[in-house]
Amino acid sequence: MPRVVGDSSTLIHLSAIGRLALLRELFGELTIPPAVWREVVEQGKGRAGVDDVEAARRAGWIHVETVSNELLLRSLRHELDDGEAQVIALAVESRADLVLLDESEARRVAELFDLQKTGVVGVLLRAKTEGTIPLLKPELDLLRESFWIDERLYRRVLQAVGEE
């Protein structure tokens, strides 16, 4: 089972379209740092998907894990917000197989650490290619209601799965 560390954006946006369970189906388990839990669940009270994330933690497939490498974390906080810094630090120290990040600066920093990364669009693309969802376009169109997707990326991923 791959070790996957996730950021807030992926949880929030997959929850918003009713597809949080894709993370369990594709990866089995997901680890998030405390800052992500706070942002999604504690600060997100009343938003769509919060109950799903809480239920996933109770079910045992989302785990909250604290970063122990404070030096790395402090260094990352110079360029990233607390959640993204914790995600990357946790991924580095736990030798994660994959990091779920959507923000471009966080993805750039993840590359510096040679971390494999994907975001919410990549999760949906993988779900389509593995047969977990029947069509990608309706999912992307729903996602676009709350999440900006570059038009070229939108067309490219649809073309990749033969839906454009």
The number of folded domains in the chain is 1
- What is this structure's pTM? 0.94
In a domain, 162, yes or no: no
Partnered with residue 133 across adjacent β-strands are none
d(CA 88, CA 91): 5
In a domain, 128, yes or no: no
The tens-digit pLDDT sequence of the chain (164 residues) is 789 999 999 999 999 999 999 999 999 999 999 999 999 999 988 886 789 999 999 999 999 999 999 999 999 999 999 999 999 999 999 999 999 999 999 999 999 999 999 999 999 999 999 999 999 999 999 999 988 999 999 999 999 999 97
In a domain, 116, yes or no: yes
In a domain, 151, yes or no: no
CATH number for the domain that contains residue 26: 3.40.50.1010
What phi and psi, each to the nearest 5 degrees, are found at residue 10? -65, -45
Amino acid 20: pLDDT: 96
Amino acid 49: pLDDT: 77
In a domain, 156, yes or no: no
Domain that holds residue 100: 4-123
Judged by DSSP in three states, 74 sits in helix
